[in-house]
Structure 1
């Protein structure tokens, strides 16, 4: 990587039909209980992906104080969000599945079974020998539970931490790696396998032959939020027995499903130069600081070679303790220096408890 800094996966965007119901389900079952911001406004800058018109929406960015990324829970309010006109299968182009990290995958599996959640697969092992399983939320989004030893706080709960990666359908590993490895820093191949796999059999398309490669970053992430966001991974999957479909074909960004994978970064100008040099120009650029009411920053988007949307956010202002109007201006800090742990922990004081 060049002179820009990637702190980690900031959030995965999830388009839903009921933002409040989704927030409740995600905080109760995934521990995504701290709202960093909540805003009802017009999305005026995403015109290439919203039919050329500004669209009204209601969004909540929620995080898990055990660590990991957040969820940007996103609902259209000016139109009815559309579902795909087909059932997406493993290897279809775009973000297929969010990975959620767990301290104890077996304990999380038992808890979800007791709660009667829609578990799609039995507890199994991935090609690296790690325990894993898949679960579906009430809005048809699929999540993979994976083990992790990267934690901000370990709570006495079998609930998972925040998202630490995604399974993404692609058509060509080498083209995809020019973004995910060369720019995003996932430079370590954990495995690269071809065939049918027991751990995938419970998900749509998981019984078919695929190629899959799991990528991680060899260097620890740096920057203000790196202790909270932690380590992450991406798994790229190629469908071998059928022609994959684009999950968001003829739909808008913000419609139902995984709308983007977002990284917290510093050094947007340098990142822009790097992305352009490798053939990934910014398709959306907020240019100056956007304001989300309680948070502010500079955001941009690129498309991977198969049009999956990757967002970059350079955070300028973030609420630490909203009750006493404690907001942090990150533009005045050393970009490589992590925030003190007490500041990051203070974000948890706005946690919603059911």
Structure 2
């Protein structure tokens, strides 16, 4: 097949000090209690982003099986991760925060309030007329929770996984070469320049920004596309101040949102396309690489502002490791979604002691 496929946002990477503590919070509070892999291997390919040497690490992939992307919770095992050098301001260059989907914004707000979580805004209305609010996890990372209708299951829980990310960029037109042209977020929901009431609770949120919210005009097909669901990307450009680079003078894996990852098919074609469009791969794994119990082909590019974007061509994911039962995608029709029984079988990966 001479065609790349973007199945959807697979996960957002989060650098933390304690992976166990972070996983427990994301599992119990946000419902991301499916532990897809738990990887203790040494990070070697990413040496150029870790001070020029390989580093020991632990990485967990946690997912909410009601649909949406997950969280790759990433912890250094041989060094203390660094904090940001500047206090975060909305519009800073890099991943500002992920967006989680909810069926019922009021119910989610009330539940998190009852759980005494760090809610940092009231429910507000965005430029696309959807409602959202902002919280912080216990590690000072901001998350946006927003109304969205694309869920995989019809379970009682109202909160799903990640369906979007907000990225600070220096020039939206330059950034569209990646997010619209290569990744297929070619449908403009809004493109506005103003001071926005829905950002007012955030640091720097009273300033003027250009914001563009993008969705994909083509329905995502194949592999895990039904589970990952429809997705969006929002780019935000500061107009009245000079933004800081969130990971300036820090390593990949330090504290905060370290990368945005897309699940794909046909890495070879994607590598060629990115090279042609002057966004070459900076890191590329072996064609078949073990990621804990999972296996795939992965690599990283930098967007126009140096934000790391990961791509993974998934080959296999374990369901019941002890019995040697895996989801194998390598020889499947890449445009055919996995059957529901197989996707629902991933519930075997849920960590019951953290079940909500």
When the two structures are superposed, what TM-score results if normalisation uses the length of structure 1?
A: 0.97
Correspondence for 2:50? 50
Correspondence for 1:94? 94
CA distance in 2, matches of 1:323, 1:157: 30
Q: Secondary structure at the match of 2:181?
A: coil
Q: Kindly report which structure 2 residues correspond to 1:271-310, keeping only aligned pairs within 5 A, or say none.
A: 271-310=270-309
Q: Which runs of 5+ in 2 are unaligned?
A: none
Provide, for residues 218-276 of structure 1, a one-character-per-residue CA deviation record: whole Å limited to 9, x for no partner: 11111210000001111100111111111000000000000000000000111111111
Q: Which runs of 5+ in 1 are unaligned?
A: none
Q: Kindly report which structure 2 residues correspond to 1:296-335, keeping only aligned pairs within 5 A, or say none.
A: 296-335=295-334
Correspondence for 1:219? 218
Say whether the 8 Å CA contact 2:41–2:56 is kept in structure 1. yes
Say whether the 8 Å CA contact 2:41–2:292 is kept in structure 1. no
Q: Secondary structure at the match of 1:108?
A: helix
CA deviation after TM superposition for structure 1 residue 155, in Å: 1.8
Correspondence for 2:40? 40
Correspondence for 1:137? 137
CA distance in 2, matches of 1:200, 1:234: 17
CA distance in 1, matches of 2:249, 2:286: 27
CA distance in 1, matches of 2:245, 2:128: 28
CA deviation after TM superposition for structure 1 residue 323, in Å: 4.8
CA deviation after TM superposition for structure 1 residue 342, in Å: 0.5
CA distance in 1, matches of 2:200, 2:289: 42
Say whether the 8 Å CA contact 1:170–1:238 is kept in structure 2. yes
Say whether the 8 Å CA contact 1:37–1:295 is kept in structure 2. yes
CA deviation after TM superposition for structure 1 residue 320, in Å: 2.5
Following TM superposition, the consecutive aligned residue runs of length 4 or more in structure 1 with deviations greater than 3 angstroms are none
Q: Kindly report which structure 2 residues correspond to 1:142-161, keeping only aligned pairs within 5 A, or say none.
A: 142-158=142-158, 160-161=159-160
Say whether the 8 Å CA contact 2:168–2:236 is kept in structure 1. yes
CA distance in 1, matches of 2:154, 2:105: 14
Q: Secondary structure at the match of 1:23?
A: helix
Correspondence for 1:104? 104
Provide, for residues 79-115 of structure 1, a one-character-per-residue CA deviation record: whole Å limited to 9, x for no partner: 0001102111111000001110111112111111111
Correspondence for 1:233? 232
When the two structures are superposed, what TM-score results if normalisation uses the length of structure 2?
A: 0.97
| Aligned residue pair count | 352
Correspondence for 2:116? 116
Let me know the Cα RMSD of the aligned residues: 1.0
Correspondence for 2:265? 266
Correspondence for 1:8? 8
Q: Secondary structure at the match of 1:182?
A: helix
Say whether the 8 Å CA contact 2:85–2:248 is kept in structure 1. no
Q: Secondary structure at the match of 1:205?
A: coil
